[in-house]
Structure 1
Amino acid sequence: MIFLLTSGILTTLILTLSWFFIRRQGRSDRAPAQSASTILETKESAEKITYWRISGIPEDCDKDKLIDFLRKHDNSLKIDLSDLSLFPGCYSQKQVGVLRTKGIPESFQRIKPEGDYVSISGLSTGGVTIDRNFYNLTPLNRPEGGNSIVDVVAVTGLAGHAFGSWRNRESGKMWLQDFLPNDIKNIRVLTYGYNSNLIGNTVDDTLQDQRSNLFIQLLNVRNTAEVAILTMIIP
């Protein structure tokens, strides 16, 4: 299903994983979507790599400064510049970071995929927060020139994960972050996370709740009162 939100010349395009992955599966480095339990919690995940989202990063903070800050919080943290990506935030002027670690750092041990996070004071007013659930919207690229014409928002299916389900288990590449912005210019790529865990045959929140929250998040990102919504069904 594709939801198309239009505000002036700006268009928000939400792609569910089924349609777009089918179109891209001809490239060997794209893999089918994988569940959160497979990606995040099994020993088969690529090199036991874990991805973390860091929110609340000041606009003027660069990678070096953020890594120094994190190492002061946990001196056992073994990361370098290639393990960190910084993107403009979609809710405020602050940046969002995606951090890659091998294994789980000691200070991150209590952060669970289901929704826990840690807050670290300093660096900015209110500090920064670190999670691994990627709930709500997370930006995954820095549009050229700082402007984008189209927003591509990926929504995983039930029992999926907003980041892990789009990642190739063998190569470790994350398609939305590593390839899509290079294939299509002038777009902003975001992934939408929600509690998709299956409990028996049910989900904690109803699909209607998830749908409503998604639209609220999109309206907050667009920050406009004049938004037209067009829904199209892809067979």
Structure 2
Amino acid sequence: MPPNSPRRSLAFRISSIPRRVDKDEFRDILTRLPIKAEGTASQLKWALTGFSYSPSAAPDHAERYAVATATFANAPSPSELETAIKREIGIDASRLKVDLDFFGLTPLADPLRDIAVDIIAVTGLAGHAFGSWKSKKEPDMWLRDFLPEAIPNARILTYGYDTKLPGSQSEASIPDLSRRLLESIKTIRSGDTRNRPWT
């Protein structure tokens, strides 16, 4: 890649964010951090074009950790972004991870109180848990950027799984994938949330 060529837009999942770093502070971190352009000593400023921040979907992690999604123009690599965030937050961020796969459940909106329903979006085979719900030309993602306004009392999550068709190296069958999905849903719907409607 030429030293100063613009990089494509990418959406990242950032998990195990310490909850002491709240939504506004974390957005500020993502907005102000420069990343060194690959192969140069200069710095390329990325542009944050989409963002969400929610408590971890797993009840036993929700008090301690948050999950964010971040869409960038001039996107850094996942490892660059992870290193830069950890450097900014410090030792509390030792468990923080950045990925592009979005496997498992990813919370996109969580009103924190008065939640009436859980909405869990599952893409089709060979789809992507984030990319399948967005325009190819725009950074907006329907589940993250529009649905919370239409249904403000919903907790919204997307579910990703590893299947690539055809010629996939995955040996998972449809029943296997279904079982993993249901097991994941059970882990986030315990205690008071068990009887909450979901779709």
- Give TM-score scaled by structure 2 length: 0.72
Contact kept in structure 1, 2:27 and 2:51, CA below 8 Å: no
Equivalent residue number for residue 206 of structure 1:
173
1:3-32 deviations in Å (ceiling 9; x for gaps): xxxxxxxxxxxxxxxxxxxxxxxxxxxxxx
1:142 counterpart = 2:110: yes
Of 21, 24, 31 in structure 2, the residue corresponding to residue 61 of structure 1 is: 21
Q: 1:185 to 1:64 in 2, by over 3 A?
A: closer
Task: Point out the more displaced range, 59-68 or 205-214.
Answer: 59-68
Shift in Å, 1:199: 3.7
Shift in Å, 1:186: 0.7
Q: Give, in whole Å, the separation in 2 of the partners of 1:77 and 1:151.
A: 39
Shift in Å, 1:208: 1.2
Q: Give, in whole Å, the separation in 2 of the partners of 1:50 and 1:209.
A: 29
Identical aligned pairs, as a percentage? 32
Q: 1:224 to 1:68 in 2, by over 3 A?
A: closer
Equivalent residue number for residue 70 of structure 2:
99
Q: Give, in whole Å, the separation in 2 of the partners of 1:195 and 1:185.
A: 30
The amino acid across from 1:54 in the alignment is: I
1:117-137 deviations in Å (ceiling 9; x for gaps): 989584526430000110110
Contact kept in structure 2, 1:90 and 1:139, CA below 8 Å: yes
Contact kept in structure 2, 1:83 and 1:100, CA below 8 Å: yes
Q: Give, in whole Å, the separation in 2 of the partners of 1:220 and 1:140.
A: 17
Of 206, 220, 232 in structure 1, the residue corresponding to residue 187 of structure 2 is: 220
Q: Which has the higher contact order (CA 8 A, sep 6+)?
A: 1
Contact kept in structure 2, 1:54 and 1:97, CA below 8 Å: yes
Alpha-carbon RMSD across the aligned residues, in angstroms, is 3.5
Q: Work out the number of aligned pairs and report it.
A: 177
1:127 counterpart = 2:95: yes
Contact kept in structure 2, 1:134 and 1:193, CA below 8 Å: yes
Q: Give, in whole Å, the separation in 1 of the partners of 2:30 and 2:124.
A: 35
Q: 1:123 to 1:165 in 2, by over 3 A?
A: farther
Contact kept in structure 2, 1:67 and 1:80, CA below 8 Å: no
In the alignment, structure 1 segments of 5+ residues that lack a partner are: 1-46, 112-116
The amino acid across from 2:20 in the alignment is: D
Contact kept in structure 2, 1:153 and 1:192, CA below 8 Å: yes
